[in-house]
């Protein structure tokens, strides 16, 4: 079977029009305001130009995280940098890869830390593979700070306007009614920290889980314990304000996730 057929709509960006990128209703006003303003219009113009020049851009749906995770359901935000730049990898969710793709090194380190921290084994490929869709469907906003990238060119779309939108999205979550865990991994993610109200939310910072930085000080990712810290915090919140969930193990499928409490 050809994993990358001539119809490229399943694996790379085909449209620069935000109207072609569906989001949950709760995000729509924030998204519309961005694309109506100059930074959003400049970004759409840049994407349209690159598509016309036959650039291969990932992912096919840049706003997929906003489609799968409505703002009113967000209990955890995991911030990444920009999408994977290999063919067929990016699926619009930070750190997640499409089914059938090998687990990238950064995601492999995330899964290792999950297992070390929580003592939960992660099944071998291909069950469940590296797709974190189940997390997104259960309230984990998997958001990159830049939402598109060109094939084989990491950070190629940084500074083109996406950062203005992701600032607005993070502020939207911070200003919402719920109390949320923010996991900021890497310098790009940690630059968003001033947008978060730390009197209401838990902010956890560590190096990016890439093998280039995961073991490096002063805040190594490996051993950071973010998953258990988030679990304990959510349990404390739940004790005073009702039930709360943690990111489920995708190996369990969408119908049998463990609760944090």
Residue listed under structure tokens 């910072």: 205
Q: How far apart are CA 69 and CA 86, in angstroms?
A: 24
Count other C-beta atoms under 10 Å from residue 123's C-beta.
13
CB contact at 8 A, 207 and 182: no
Distances (CA, A) of 81 to 142, 191, 222: 11, 11, 18
Active site residues: 82
* Neighbouring C-beta atoms of residue 227, cutoff 10 Å: 22
CA atoms within 13 A on the CB side of 81: 16
CA–CA separation, 163 vs 24, rounded Å?
A: 20
DSSP H or E stretch at residue 133? helix 133-137
List the beta bridge partners of residue 144. Answer: 80
């Amino acid at each position: 079977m050809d994993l990358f057929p001539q119809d490229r709509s399943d694996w790379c960006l085909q449209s620069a029009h935000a109207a072609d990128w569906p989001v949950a209703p709760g995000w729509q006003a924030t998204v519309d305001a961005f694309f109506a303003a100059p930074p959003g219009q400049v970004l759409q113009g840049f994407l349209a130009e690159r598509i016309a020049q036959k650039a291969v851009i990932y992912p096919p749906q840049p706003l997929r995280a906003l489609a799968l995770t409505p703002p009113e359901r967000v209990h955890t935000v995991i911030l990444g940098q920009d999408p994977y730049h290999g063919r067929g990898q990016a699926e619009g969710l930070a750190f997640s890869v499409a089914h059938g793709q090998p687990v990238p090194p950064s995601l492999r380190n995330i899964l290792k830390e999950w297992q070390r921290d929580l003592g939960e084994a992660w099944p071998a490929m291909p069950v469940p593979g590296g797709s974190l869709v189940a997390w997104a469907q259960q309230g984990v906003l998997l958001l990159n700070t830049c939402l598109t990238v060109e094939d084989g060119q990491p950070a190629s779309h940084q500074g083109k306007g996406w950062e203005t939108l992701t600032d607005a999205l993070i502020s939207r979550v911070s200003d919402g009614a719920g109390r949320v865990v923010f996991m900021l991994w890497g310098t790009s993610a940690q630059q968003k920290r001033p947008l978060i109200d730390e009197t209401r939310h838990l902010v956890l910072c560590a190096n990016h889980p890439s093998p280039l930085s995961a073991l490096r000080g002063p805040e190594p990712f490996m051993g950071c314990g973010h998953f258990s810290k988030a679990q304990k915090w959510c349990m404390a919140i739940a004790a005073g304000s009702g039930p709360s969930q943690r990111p489920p193990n995708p190996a369990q499928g969408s119908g049998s996730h463990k609760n944090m409490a």
